[in-house]
């Protein structure tokens, strides 16, 4: 089984709808991240959480919110989706133990907002 899973894998929705993307991990990592990937722009950080009680805004948090329900679960919400939020969304986890904070990525969720 994959260590980092994302649901759904694909979603098509309409402008104004509320959408939740979910991420679960079995790696036991405290740190979790949400990124979006757009063609020609690379991955950009939306939100990150270093433990269950810690939530931080990333580079492009406007229009998004997150919830860290447990160490293993980190959800991303779009309260009112708009077309320019069409992108590929990735969840990632990491563990800085040993001084090497490698990130492990989920398979991604492709979101299309019409």
- The site for another protein (CB under 8 A) is made up of 4, 40-45, 48, 50, 56, 58-59, 90, 92, 99-108
| 3-class SS of residue 55 | strand
Give me the least distance between CB of 34 and another protein, in Å please: 12
Q: Locate tokens 């779009």: which residue?
A: 78
Instruction: Between 63 and 105, name the residue whose CB sits nearer to another protein.
Output: 105
Instruction: Between 16 and 107, name the residue whose CB sits nearer to another protein.
Output: 107
Instruction: Between 4 and 21, name the residue whose CB sits nearer to another protein.
Output: 4
| Cα 10 to Cα 13, 71, 76, distances in angstroms | 10, 24, 14
Give me the least distance between CB of 15 and another protein, in Å please: 26
């Amino acid at each position: 089984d994959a260590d980092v899973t994302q649901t759904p894998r694909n979603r098509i929705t309409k402008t104004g709808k509320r959408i939740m993307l979910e991420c679960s991990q079995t790696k036991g990592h405290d740190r979790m991240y949400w990124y979006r990937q757009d063609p020609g722009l690379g991955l950009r950080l939306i939100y990150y959480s270093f433990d269950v009680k810690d939530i931080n805004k990333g580079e492009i948090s406007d229009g998004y919110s997150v919830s860290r329900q447990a160490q293993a679960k980190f959800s991303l919400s779009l309260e009112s989706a708009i077309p320019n939020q069409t992108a590929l969304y990735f969840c990632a986890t990491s563990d800085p133990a040993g001084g090497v904070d490698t990130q492990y990525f989920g398979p991604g969720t492709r979101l299309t907002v019409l």
